[in-house]
Amino acid sequence: MNGKRVFITGSFQGIGLGIATVFAREGASVVLHGLGDETVVANAETQVKSAGAAKVESFVSDLKDSLATEKLIAQILEGGPIDILVNNAGIQHTATVDQMPREKWNEIIAVNLSSYFDTMRLLLPPMAARGYGRVINIASVHGLVASVAKSPYVAAKHGVIGLTKVAALEYASSGSRESGGITVNAICPGWVETALIQPQVQARVEKFGGDHLAGIADLLSEKQPSGRMSSPLDIGELALSLCGNSAHNITGASIPIDGGWTAQ
């Protein structure tokens, strides 16, 4: 990844930070993004710099606002082209369809789907002009199967997979084997050790009287046959594997990393 510049949305923590760390280890210049105070941003930058990034930049912006996203991308491009875009930002709220607040639907669709469209429409054309580009959309197993009480999240993640396929087709002939071409793929994680799932983990831990391992095992037993969570670094390693020139013909794919969840 020497000489490559990667932009990862929602990368001050969780999966996004894990992906940033893996690309940093391979010598990429990393553009971090998200919402957070100075301490959150500084901690993320320290981790990524320590991993070996050629350069680290950080931008704070709210992806619910498409005009703000246009300004964000313009600012980022002032520092040079983006070779790899990882759309990872996401929010969650659980409630049944009849109890889901309408504003939560709007917010989740805006961040988890519409922001992916915005970054892609702005960054894919310059990638195509250079003959190399990678878009990796972090979807979810919920882009492939559903769960109760997650209607906007599931709808958004299904939408991400459809958007991924359309963009992959539109840019499939750009570039060449030698230049690396343009590919657009989705990664579909199952249970990953991040702050996003901590409320669900904690509920199971309390069920087992504070036994953390028993709570996690109970949570995984319902969905993930491996009985193991993935780490954010695992997601980063898969993303990295899609970025070499040898992956020029892997496009439009939705790749589960879910311990067998969607194989059932």
* Active-site residue, from 116, 132, 153, 171: 153
Question: What is the assigned CATH class of domain 5-192+230-263?
Answer: alpha beta
Contact 67, 114 (CB under 8 A): no
Looking at the chain, the whole-number percentage of residues with pLDDT higher than 70 is: 100
CA 66 to chain centre: 18
The predicted-structure confidence for 16-39, as pLDDT tens digits, reads as follows 999 999 999 999 999 999 999 999
Query: What separation, in Å, do the N-terminal and C-terminal C-alpha atoms of the chain show?
Result: 36
**Which residues in the chain come in under a pLDDT of 50?**
none
Neighbour-count burial for 98-107, b at 16+ CB within 10 Å, e otherwise: eebeeebbee
Q: What is the pLDDT of residue 160?
A: 98
Question: For 111, which DSSP code?
Answer: I
**How far apart (Å, rounded) are the C-alpha atoms in residues 249 and 240?**
15
Rounded alpha-carbon distances, angstroms, from residue 199 to 86, 93, 172: 26, 11, 40
- The pLDDT tens digits of the residues spanning 125-161 come to 999 999 999 999 999 999 999 999 999 999 999 999 9
pLDDT score of 62: 96
Give the Cα separation of 209 and 213 in Å (integer). Answer: 11
Q: In the chain, what are the domain boundaries?
A: 5-192+230-263, 194-228
| C-alpha to C-alpha distance for 94 and 108, rounded to whole angstroms | 11
What are the C-alpha distances in Å from 123 to residues 77, 146, 167, 238? 9, 30, 12, 22
Let me know if 153 is a catalytic residue.
yes
